[in-house]
Amino acid sequence: MKNLVQKITHIYPSDRVVDLSLLMFRISLSVELIVAHGLKKLGVGVAAAEQVPNPLHLPEAFNSLFADAANLVFPVFVIFGLFTRLAVLPILAVTLTGYFVLHWNDALLIKDTPFMYSLCYLFILAVGAGKYSLDSFFQKK
């Protein structure tokens, strides 16, 4: 029993636990971004495709392409851990713009979504993809 309590309360998890946690975090976060936000922009699961906001008044085609890529393509790179830190940057550009520009004056219940996505992807930017990633695989060779 004492050994079980020590394992539960141990403040330094093993490297394997950390790397598995990073893998599950990357996958679940990115799948959620794709399903909850990316597919709506293509019209999947909704009556009509979601209109991409353009708060920075960029050219419409560029804005739409960038937002679609940040919600559909780059999360796939994060899932596989391929060019992870680079792939996080466009995602952060969209989520931070959503928080600081688009939803800054909105209620907390509305702006909490881009805030939470931003925090999570900032975490991935800081710590990287971990051992169970293509980044790690290619770095070993």
- Domain layout of the chain by residue ranges: 15-140
Which amino acid does the sequence have at 31? V
Residue 51: phi and psi, rounded to 5, are -75, 125
Question: Which pLDDT band, with edges at 50, 70 and 90, does 141 fall under?
Answer: low
DSSP state of 104: T
Span 50-90, pLDDT tens digits: 788 888 888 998 999 999 999 999 999 999 999 999 999 99
